[in-house]
Amino acid sequence: MISITSIQQLFTPAFTVDIQKVKSNAKNMIERCQTLGVQLRPHMKTHKTLECADIMTGGSRRCIAVSTLAEARFYADNGFDDILYAYPLPLDKVGACAELAECLEMFHVLVDNEVAVTELKKRRLQVEKSWLVWLKLDCNNGRAGVQPEDTMALKLAKSIADSEGMELVGVYAHCGNSYEATNVKEIQAVAQETTRATLKFVEKLEKAGVRCPRSSIGSTPSCSHPVSNMGCLNEVHPGNYIFYDVQQLMIGSCQMDDIAVRVLTRVIGHYPHRNQLLIDCGWTGLSLHSLGKLPTGYALVEGHPELKLVGMTQEHGKIEPSSGKLDFEKFPLGSLLSLIPYHACATAAMHPVYYVHSDGRIITEWKPTRGW
Amino acid sequence: MISITSIQQLFTPAFTVDIQKVKSNAKNMIERCQTLGVQLRPHMKTHKTLECADIMTGGSRRCIAVSTLAEARFYADNGFDDILYAYPLPLDKVGACAELAECLEMFHVLVDNEVAVTELKKRRLQVEKSWLVWLKLDCNNGRAGVQPEDTMALKLAKSIADSEGMELVGVYAHCGNSYEATNVKEIQAVAQETTRATLKFVEKLEKAGVRCPRSSIGSTPSCSHPVSNMGCLNEVHPGNYIFYDVQQLMIGSCQMDDIAVRVLTRVIGHYPHRNQLLIDCGWTGLSLHSLGKLPTGYALVEGHPELKLVGMTQEHGKIEPSSGKLDFEKFPLGSLLSLIPYHACATAAMHPVYYVHSDGRIITEWKPTRGW
């Protein structure tokens, strides 16, 4: 086995992570939250690794959000605590959640319906613990959650707060609609609206005498450019910012220089008769997430704005110039190209190993958890 | 840990494989090839498991095609042999291929350019072995391969055959263009054309005195409905047929009853105000491969042609009726739905474990290899 020291020596396709950029993205978010006066509860769904979680929590290994039970167990098994399973409580997983709640200091679940509350009541925790429950709000995002202006929302909050063996810890909203923004102003309009709706509901709870100590909103766009009003919340829970990607760049969340991840690929074929070259990265290495709709196709080819990744099959990518004739001599067989992913969460999800480097020198490998 | 005996008890999302259908699909393909008089070299890219490979090879564990070096190593390490790395030889992997060629009885590589041949020459095999080389032909598919009518094709074949330490074993064409078909007649037109072009090139080789004992074409559509002319080839190399999927159903390759795989998912939310329910399967559990363009959205919901899977995020799917009001009582929170994937290769690629069942009773788990 040859010892590999440089990303240039990696078998391709390979998912690479620039540790300096990851650390810088983490630091900036931590400082931004400190300035704002809110607790950062970073979301793990983008990377699902222990090492990156350690960086995002500033080494505390406390106060994280996860999207799957598999992530919750992975982090719990590896010394993390204060874990919020930020997903509408799936009824098949109540027992598994109870086990986590019983062994961790703080394991939080999230609900948006009365049926889930009933199921939690049925499974009382042992060791004199209460279920730590968050109410999921849908502040105009249109996915999970109760709408805060719906009378059901207050009723459900009361039901949680009044149930024995259960504690209403907070309200939680995801401003996924910030992904429709195309600049900072639009991001901030969504952040403002989500914050306003969340705080208004918190006020309603206070007036009704329902104890609910925490409130949290999140999304990488909103937390990359927070509005001052967000300082009235207790927490935020962004995740993608640790890597960023072309989508975040287009939304206005980050600059090109902030994007920490790449897919390295090699040229495996020249086809002058159709003005195309083939690369050894297909959708198993990149995902289809841009749907090929970028001006440069499925991704950006770093340093080559003139190239377009026009097609992807399982293990092949087709590249052609946006216009004119391709100069094949510039891209010899075996030469490396670097793809900047459209959606880092989706691209990372395709890779069993992340190659972590500093200025191109490999310093370690990270292995994500997978499954549910 | 509760012992799980039925697929109904699985945590969702879960990828399930019906073993009876897999065995039946395998048997039908083996018999079809016997009738046709060609060797079946099944492709592993769809499932990447040992158990399924065993079934596809009728227990011989010989004569397979793979799409990645990781697959080649996985199968070689587990007693498989006669492995064709059916991918344009990546120059970074020549050394690793040499190691496989030196330890297996037969490890085949595939090339479509002179540079790869030169690299193979530079790395002579030890133990008095020759490189087993296939020439990749592009018979109107437009991905990898030399066009058989191009003068380069004959030149390259000669170059391989004439090189010391190298043997031209065969020519190989993938009729990926059969995926544009919408019925058996269109599939067969592509199969006919690919076969004709391949055999014509074999004839050209014979006339030029270039020894090339084997010829192979493949794709699940063409091999599910072979034309008689394919009997003049030596091999075929389909892969997806072991699972089939909605795409193959729409092409005309299979019947609904042949599709062996599902993604089980549960209802996690009711949202009457927008006439939608949420399921616990997002693109990490299904992939985005249909692009949502099916009349039923991203997949078929088994037994519910009236439902449409209209949206997918990382861990959430949104379902609504194709028309009218959703009857939420029919789909209580926690109830199971079964999704029939559009593209089985892409859906399988998202799962670290496949749950294998017979009539819903779980009999084993298969774990695929991943990476490159």
ipTM of the complex: 0.96
Instruction: Give per-residue pLDDT as tens, B331-368.
Output: 999 999 999 999 999 999 999 999 999 999 999 999 99
Average pLDDT over residues B5-24: 97
CA torsion through residues A237, A240, A246, A249, sign: positive
pLDDT of A342 reads 98
Q: Please report whether residue A18 resides in a domain.
A: no
Is the minimum CB–CB distance between A351 and chain B shorter than 8 Å? yes
User: What is the rounded average pLDDT of the residues B113-130?
Assistant: 94
**Whose structure tokens read 């206005």?**
A252
Helices B184-207 & B151-162, crossing angle to 10 degrees?
60
For residue B303 the two structure tokens come to: 């037994």
- Residue A56 and residue A117 in one domain: yes
> What's the confidence (pLDDT) of residue A176?
87
Residue A334 at interface with chain B, using a CB cutoff of 8 Å:
yes
Q: Tell me, yes or no, whether A139 and A61 share the same domain.
A: yes
CA–CA distance, B110 with A1 (Å, rounded to integer): 24
- DSSP helix/strand/coil, B355: strand
Chain B, nearest residue to A176 by Cα: B313
Q: A146 is in which domain, residue-wise?
A: 37-243
Residue A205 and residue A107 share a domain = yes
Q: Residue A181: give its domain's CATH number.
A: 3.20.20.10
Per-residue pLDDT at A2 = 57
Rounded distance between C-alpha atoms, residue B180 and residue B157, angstroms: 30
Neighbouring CB atoms inside 10 A of A122's CB total 8
Q: What does the pLDDT read at residue A39?
A: 98
Are residue A179 and residue A323 in the same domain, yes or no? no
The average pLDDT across B12-17 equals 98
Smallest Cα distance from A150 to chain B, Å:
10
Candidates B42, B37, B79, B72; CA nearest to B57 is: B42
| Whether A68 and B315 lie within 8 Å, measured CB to CB | yes
CB contact under 8 A, B69 and A280: no
Instruction: Read off the pLDDT of residues B301-340 as tens digits, 9 standing for 90 and up.
Output: 999 999 999 999 999 999 999 999 999 999 999 999 999 9
User: Could you tell me if residue B336 is inside a domain?
Assistant: yes
pLDDT at A161: 98
Report yes or no: B215 and B203 within 8 Å, Cβ to Cβ.
Answer: no
> pTM (2 decimals)?
0.97
The number of distinct structural domains making up chain A is 2
Domain containing A313 — which CATH number?
2.40.37.20
| A273 and A341 both lie in a single domain | yes
Task: List C-alpha distances in Å: B80 to A329, B125, B134.
Answer: 39, 20, 19
Instruction: Pick the last residue of a domain from B218, B242, B266.
Output: B242
Residue B2 has a pLDDT of 57
| Per-residue tens of pLDDT for chain A, all 372 residues | 457 899 999 999 999 999 999 999 999 999 999 999 999 999 999 999 999 999 999 999 999 999 999 999 999 999 999 999 999 999 999 999 999 999 999 999 999 999 999 999 999 998 789 999 999 999 989 999 999 999 999 999 999 999 999 999 999 999 988 898 999 999 999 999 999 999 999 999 999 999 999 999 999 999 999 999 999 999 999 999 999 999 999 999 999 999 999 999 999 999 999 999 999 999 999 999 999 999 999 999 999 999 999 999 999 999 999 999 999 999 999 999 999 999 999 999 999 999 999 999 999 999 999 999
- The interface residues of chain B toward chain A in range 197-226, judged by CB-CB distance below 8 A, are none
Q: Which residues of B touch A287 (CB under 8 A)?
A: 288
Residues A65 and A176 in one domain: yes
Q: Which residues of A touch B288 (CB under 8 A)?
A: 287-289, 291
Are residues B238 and B261 located together in one domain of the fold?
no
Q: CB–CB of B334 and A13 under 8 A?
A: no
Q: Is the Cβ of A335 closer than 8 Å to some Cβ of chain B?
A: no
Q: Is the CB of B49 inside 8 Å of chain A's CB atoms?
A: no
| The pLDDT value given to residue B248 | 97
B295, B286 Cβ separation under 8 angstroms: no
Query: Do A180 and A287 reside in the same domain of the chain?
Result: no
pLDDT in the model for residue B239: 98
Q: Does residue B3 register a pLDDT over 80?
A: no
Residues A275 and A232 in one domain: no
pLDDT for residue B127: 76
B306: in domain: yes
% chain B with pLDDT above 70: 99
Is there a contact between A315 and B68 if contact means CB atoms under 8 Å apart? yes
Decide if A87 is inside a domain: yes
Q: Is the pLDDT of residue B176 over 90?
A: no
Q: Which two tokens stand for residue B200?
A: 């014509």
Q: How many residues does chain B have?
A: 372
Out of B242, B265, B285, pick the residue that ends a domain. Answer: B242
Q: Is residue B328 part of a domain?
A: yes
In a domain, A269, yes or no: yes
- Locate the chain B residue with the closest alpha carbon to A87: B315
Does residue A8 fall inside a structural domain? no
| pLDDT value at residue B223 | 97
Same domain as B234, residue B276: no
The residue among A191, A208, A243 that closes a domain is A243
CB of A72 closer than 8 Å to CB of A43: no
Average pLDDT, chain B: 96
Query: Which of A113, A143, A268 lies at the smallest CB-CB distance from B90?
Result: A268
Let me know whether A201 and A96 are in one domain: yes
Judged by CB atoms closer than 8 Å, whether chains meet at B176 and A313 is answered as yes
Domain assignment present for residue A92? The answer is yes
Q: Among candidates A362, A361, A342, A340, which has minimal Cα distance to A353?
A: A362
Domain shared by B111 and B216, yes or no: yes
Q: Are B366 and B318 in contact (CB under 8 A)?
A: no
Distance from CA of B84 to the nearest CA of A (A): 16
